[in-house]
Amino acid sequence: MIIKSVQRSSSDPAKAFTRSSDCEAASRDGCENCIIANALKDTPVWADFLKDKILQECPPGTTIFQEGTPVGFIYLLRAGVVKISVEDAEGPNRVVSIVSGHDASCTILNKQSLGRSTHSFTCEALSTCLVNCIPKATFNWLMKQEFRLAQEVLLALADDLDSLLNRVRSEAKFSGRQRLAQLLLHLKTIQTGQKQGDNVIGLDLSRQELASMIGVTRETFTRLLSDLSRRGIIKVTPDHIVIQKEKQLSMIAANAQI
């Protein structure tokens, strides 16, 4: 398997990407969580997918694709953690979601771009990521050839909509304190497999970005974080947030009184 490491935006994919046959080996070994492999590996078009697929290694901080830029490739997160954000007219970009390749291999990062000429979001690597890249025209052709792939994409779009609705409901139903507890537990789960300890959250996210994820101002977020720290539930350092009392944090997230 040959991988080329880059630290540039993927606006010029022809220079940034290197072809790889890693999926061919992965399909033999299992890869049961990959929606692409599950939809295509036993079909006649699997060879076409392998032929046109490109693998990119993205160091932390790499912009994988950017809002408003032309869509040339469909990006599948094979490993690592990324943040998805949108431009905010009132200030810094708002983080829409954090996506981990640990949850499901080859998660489609830009599903909304399948029917659009430009990207709707910006995607940046928070850890070293492996991203499979398929030319958009090839991916659309594969969906036309195999109904199972098109079905998987529709289900993934439905999951995105559910997540968005749940986020809106959460901001209406739960207090900022509860939403912060839920976010910290979510980020802890996402970091499974990272080098930090089990209860250490070390993703490169600013307080403004974390605040945007729970729908509060930066000042409110800092106050909520300080309250959890004062009570010994978490410990805040310049580079990490350490969950010291996970049971109590879970009780706050579940709206239990402690």
Q: Which domain holds residue 188?
A: 174-253
Q: Which residue has the tokens 């809106």?
A: 168
Cα first-last separation, the chain: 52
Same domain, 71 and 164: yes
Give the pLDDT of residue 4: 31
Query: In this structure, is residue 89 part of a structural domain?
Result: yes
Give the pLDDT of residue 184: 92
Give the pLDDT of residue 31: 59
Share of the chain above pLDDT 70, in %: 82
Is pTM, for the whole model, over 0.75? yes
Query: In this structure, is residue 1 part of a structural domain?
Result: no
- Among 169, 188, 220, residue at a domain's last position: 169
- 69 with 119: CB under 8 angstroms? yes
Distance between CA 80 and CA 182 in Å, rounded?
21
Same domain, 61 and 156: yes
Q: CA 149 → CA 71, 77, 100, 140, distances in Å?
A: 20, 16, 21, 10
Phi, psi of 95 (to 5 degrees): -80, 120
Query: In this structure, is residue 212 part of a structural domain?
Result: yes
- Among 136, 151, 169, residue at a domain's last position: 169
**Which whole number is the average pLDDT over 120-146?**
93
Same domain, 218 and 148: no
- Listed range (27-31, 144-148, 208-212) with the worst mean pLDDT: 27-31
**Which whole number is the average pLDDT over 128-147?**
92
Any idea what the Cα angle at residue 160 is, between residues 19 and 142, rounded to 5°?
Answer: 40
Dump the DSSP string for the chain.
----B--S-TTSHHHH-EE--HHHHHHHH--TT-HHHHHHTTSTTHHHHHHH-EEEEE-TT-EEE-TTSB--EEEEEEESEEEEEEEETTEEEEEEEEEETTTSTTEETTGGGGG-SB-SSEEEESS-EEEEEEEHHHHHHHHHH-HHHHHHHHHHHHHHHHHHHHHHHHHHHS-HHHHHHHHHHHHHHHTTTSSS-TTEE-----HHHHHHHHT--HHHHHHHHHHHHHTTSEEE-SS-EEES-HHHHHHHHTT---
Same domain, 29 and 107: yes
Query: In this structure, is residue 91 part of a structural domain?
Result: yes
Same domain, 160 and 179: no
- Among 127, 144, 169, residue at a domain's last position: 169
- Listed range (49-58, 103-112, 148-157) with the worst mean pLDDT: 103-112
Give the pLDDT of residue 179: 92
165: number of Cβ within 10 Å: 10
Same domain, 117 and 158: yes
Same domain, 89 and 178: no
Residues 6+ apart with CB under 8 A from 240: 196, 200, 201, 202
Same domain, 143 and 21: yes
Looking at the 3D structure of the chain, how many domains does it have?
Answer: 2
94: number of Cβ within 10 Å: 16
Same domain, 53 and 180: no
pLDDT tens for 61-88 read 999 999 999 999 999 998 899 999 998 7
Same domain, 56 and 132: yes
